[in-house]
Structure 1
Amino acid sequence: FEDAAVAAKILGITLTSRGEFQGDPVPMCGVPHHAAKSYIVKLVKSGLKVAICEQVEDPKASKGIVKREVVRVVTSGSLLEEDEIDTKENLYIAAIAAGKEGYGLAYADLSTGEFKITEITEWDTLLDEIGRIGPRELLVLERDGLEAALSSVSLHIEVLGNDDYVPSTGADLVKEQLGVSSLEGFGCASMSRGLEAAGALVYYLKEIQKGSPAHIKEISVYHLGQSMFLDEATRTHLELLKTMRRGTQKGSLIYVLDKTLTPMGARLLRKWISYPLLEPDPIEERLSAVSFLKDSPLLRQDIRDELKDIYDLERLNSRIALGRTNPRDLIALKISAKRLPIVKTLISETPSTLLSHLSSSLDCLEDIVALIEEAIKDDAPSVMKEGGIIKEGYNKDLDRLIELSRGGKAWIARFGAQEQERTGISSLKVGYNKVFGYYIEVSKPNLHLVPDYYIRKQTLANAERFITPELKDVEEEILGAEQKRIALEHQLFEQIRRKVASEHQRIKATAEIIAQIDTLCSLAEVAALNSYVRPRIGNDLQITILEGRHPVVEQTAKDEQFV
């Protein structure tokens, strides 16, 4: 029962008790259901896990206690509440597995669907890479006994017990998650240590989600030699993502370079800074794109005008695929996708091979836009409880229920006017509440005018409420239509969500392209604002800087000359 005491202290709420256990009062605490999200976030940010338990059957169809189950477990790496997470940072969960020749490392972001795997020989290099990734949670295997060695790492460490996860099943778990019979196509079939780590990650995600994360359907192999290796000391002293003194972005390199307009672009920029390119060709390709955008201010502004209306496609996609979405998410997806054809056209005819490739690869998701446009109301509520989600004309059965509901309400209005005339009570009114249903309300001074066929239903301080057999019959028709309408809207919304979720890989690919376009535009914007000059890349090992300026210092000390 100590959970109640811990939660009450963290949340600053009253600790009460209910009943007894072995002679002692049972401690309890609670929060309003409608405000649960903010309390969950506070508990998770305090380093705790929160189990979400919900009813899993219709209370009306249940005999006795309604069945409840834990439907997911919220952790620091699986917090998907869009209002409560930093949109510019990834929420990585990482896993490591030890072997005779080194270590396997895998990490994933449940909020975006990213899933990566690598193998590393040296322990210190592994620690540096974990620091560069910056996971919210780190999974280790009880078999490996690494907890003591990781004591200096300021991360939440989760140990997977030998009885919970069997490392030899890692490859099979990954194949099952990706829906494939072989991992050859992903390039990781021979990475035994890496697959042990990746399997641990899949196992953990399934445990906390109480099911397979449907949007994670591919895994990317990467090797440390593909980018410049930056150890922890280098990253810290260069102040790439945060300052040494205060640990804030302001005063760091990313603070100067980040002019991105989409969350996907902001997250990609962090990766580009953390994983610098090594090969001349991709460096030149990226520089050419930035240089062209820098020298095309009108085009750059047109692109950025479209980008600013694009929501976080990666996280929208994940919430839709995981079934943790609402109508507003689909509307946000539609609004974002409507900007895509314009972006595609704007970058289609450029001398940059990178921009041209991004344009030709950009899927504008027209069929998804058409589906949402046809089905979901633009002003649909964020909460589905009362319906009001699906457009009229989308489903004939729903249209009939809506018409019946409207017709019943019109009848109620006519009935009220009729009863006023019949009884001579001008103040008579017909009302409704969820407890008593429809009623006729008559003030006490007019009670002597009430007909005999009125049936008293409720007594108030200044009035009486009545029903009639006719009103009761119509009430059943109206409420029956309303309940059926809401149930059908929920069913239709779920069908639409599933259709959109089935295209999650297309949406993910589109989000990745938009992230690249946004990041390139951001760098071009900064280059134009600060008069940066394109470097020339050679094949020798020399570096020559003429009239160099420090990008961070010149922004923080604008009135002083820095050499």
Structure 2
Amino acid sequence: MSADELTPMRQQYLELKARYPDKILLFRMGDFFEAFDADAELIARELEITLTSRPMPRGQRIPMAGVPCRAVDTYIARLVERGYHVAVADQVEPPGKKLVRREVTRVVTPGTLIDPAMLDQRQNNYLLALVPLKNPHDESWARCGLAYADISTGEFAATEIGADHTEAALGVLEELARLKPREVLLPKSWADRGVTLPNGAFATPLPDHRFELGAAQSVLRAHFQVRALEGFGLANKPLATCAAGALLNYLYETQGSNLAQLTTLRTYSTANFMVLDANTRRNLELTETIRGGKVQGSLLSVLDRTVTPMGSRLLRQWIGQPLLDITRLNARLDAVAALQADGVRRAEVFAALKPIADLERLTNRVLSGTALPRDLIALRYSLESVPALRNVLYELPALHSIRDRLDPCRPVIELIAAAIADNPPAALRDKVGIIREGYSA
């Protein structure tokens, strides 16, 4: 069928699909997001929804399947859970007499989730990138750059494995077992050779040029607005730089310009932590049981008495990456001993933490421009609880270093209290009742 015979809407759809050929394209039409052609057949099968068809010129029909706009995130979550990548084409102007302009407003992949409904509160959702360097004498990995990020919390880190003469492939497997990423980016040339990933991780092969050093340095410098990357610990770590740059580029591709939550890049050495391979982690049942892979019954379930999701995620990280630094270990033990010895203060700390929501993910939704009105209210109430927590920690000298880093952010509290109604609607589309009556910017 020639382009002249296509309807304007069909042309618009095909133009967007050509930009995202390897993604499921959900195309907004009124109160539904529709998929067409092979995408329609796929989502009808995976989501167990009705497959219909849409008439075209010359008596032809094309497959079509759709989901309601109000429930689209639920359906996207089910597709992403199966490893699919979903591009969402929304209407970017009010409906009128002419064809409504549509653009892809977000791309959702297993490693780029930010919607709270799609995330486990007590676990990180990591996107990871690998850049292996082949040993010139055989097919083994001489070294490997590794970077990972959780865009829901703003964590971004990179390392280079094998530079200290450890077995690079083994070191990578150990990090994969620790981090349990949901999505792994790697050069297509290496993906074609076959790379074993842990259960639950989906491979996303990318063209090899996406991992080049020059491109990586450029995107990192531009994002952090710096002239050099030495301040991030990337000097003499070209593979770590390549991995971090490729990961950041991928995030820009899928998230657009909403990456303000990635404010820094941390480099680390695996030599500073106890090495635990996948079998050791499994046999010790650190974070999940051997039978069933459940948290309940693991060491984590025994130790986790945290009050906030942030604390639970941090405890999981500490269990998965035991320290070797005696100074930092003793500081942790001193803090634990202080709380264990003072039951009254311990109860006060628990009480002060209870009103605090998931500040990591709340602030990152604000920075990424995806926060809803009630997120701002939760942020305000959480920050209002910080002074009480600081006061309790004042009585515990072993925790003064933590207290000194707690900032209640009074200007933020005052701005939200002045501008946002105490009980705003859940969605932005319900514009009435969001801004406090009488407020003017």
Provide the TM-score with structure 1 as the length reference: 0.67
* Paired letter, 1:13: I
Name which structure has the greater RCO, CA cutoff 8 Å, separation 6+.
Answer: 1
Superposed displacement of residue 337, structure 1: 0.3
CA deviations over 1:380-432 (Å, ceiling 9, x no partner):
1111223211112211xxxxxxxxxxxxxxxxxxxxxxxxxxxxxxxxxxxxx
Whether the aligned pair in 1 keeps the contact of 2:252 and 2:259 (CA below 8 Å) is yes
- The residue aligned with 1:186 is 232
Superposed displacement of residue 26, structure 1: 0.7
Whether the aligned pair in 2 keeps the contact of 1:117 and 1:198 (CA below 8 Å) is yes
- The residue aligned with 1:107 is 148
- The residue aligned with 2:66 is 30
Q: Cα 1:152–1:178, aligned 2, differ >3 Å: closer, same or farther? A: closer
Matched, 1:368 2:412: yes
Q: Cα 1:21–1:77, aligned 2, differ >3 Å: closer, same or farther? A: farther
Whether the aligned pair in 2 keeps the contact of 1:331 and 1:378 (CA below 8 Å) is yes
Q: Cα 1:21–1:85, aligned 2, differ >3 Å: closer, same or farther? A: farther
Question: In the TM superposition, what are the counterparts of 1:88-487 in structure 2 within 5 Å?
Answer: 88-99=122-133, 101-121=142-162, 122-142=168-188, 144-151=189-196, 153-154=198-199, 155-162=201-208, 166-352=212-398, 355-387=399-431, 388-395=433-440
Task: Structure 2: give runs of 5+ residues left out of the alignment.
Answer: 1-36, 135-141, 163-167
Could you say what secondary structure the match of 2:67 adopts? coil
Whole-Å separation in 1 of the counterparts to 2:195 and 2:59: 43
Q: Identity over the aligned pairs, expressed in percent?
A: 40
Whole-Å separation in 2 of the counterparts to 1:135 and 1:116: 13
Number of aligned positions between the proteins:
391
Whole-Å separation in 2 of the counterparts to 1:233 and 1:113: 30
Superposed displacement of residue 44, structure 1: 1.1
Whether the aligned pair in 1 keeps the contact of 2:174 and 2:275 (CA below 8 Å) is no
Whether the aligned pair in 2 keeps the contact of 1:182 and 1:189 (CA below 8 Å) is no
Whole-Å separation in 2 of the counterparts to 1:95 and 1:83: 25
* Paired letter, 2:147: A
Superposed displacement of residue 164, structure 1: 5.2
Whole-Å separation in 2 of the counterparts to 1:95 and 1:277: 24
Whole-Å separation in 2 of the counterparts to 1:15 and 1:194: 46
Matched, 1:46 2:82: yes
Superposed displacement of residue 319, structure 1: 1.1
Could you say what secondary structure the match of 1:314 adopts? helix
Could you say what secondary structure the match of 1:202 adopts? helix
Could you say what secondary structure the match of 1:59 adopts? coil
Could you say what secondary structure the match of 2:397 adopts? coil
Whether the aligned pair in 2 keeps the contact of 1:205 and 1:212 (CA below 8 Å) is no
Superposed displacement of residue 167, structure 1: 4.2
Whole-Å separation in 2 of the counterparts to 1:225 and 1:390: 51
Whole-Å separation in 2 of the counterparts to 1:160 and 1:368: 41
* Paired letter, 1:375: A
Matched, 1:57 2:57: no
Whether the aligned pair in 2 keeps the contact of 1:165 and 1:203 (CA below 8 Å) is no
Structure with higher Rg: it is: 1
Superposed displacement of residue 84, structure 1: 2.9
Of 92, 99, 114, 1:80 maps to 114
Whether the aligned pair in 2 keeps the contact of 1:77 and 1:137 (CA below 8 Å) is yes
- The residue aligned with 1:7 is 43
Whole-Å separation in 2 of the counterparts to 1:138 and 1:287: 35
* Paired letter, 1:32: P
Superposed displacement of residue 292, structure 1: 0.8
Could you say what secondary structure the match of 1:112 adopts? coil
Q: Cα 1:161–1:284, aligned 2, differ >3 Å: closer, same or farther? A: same
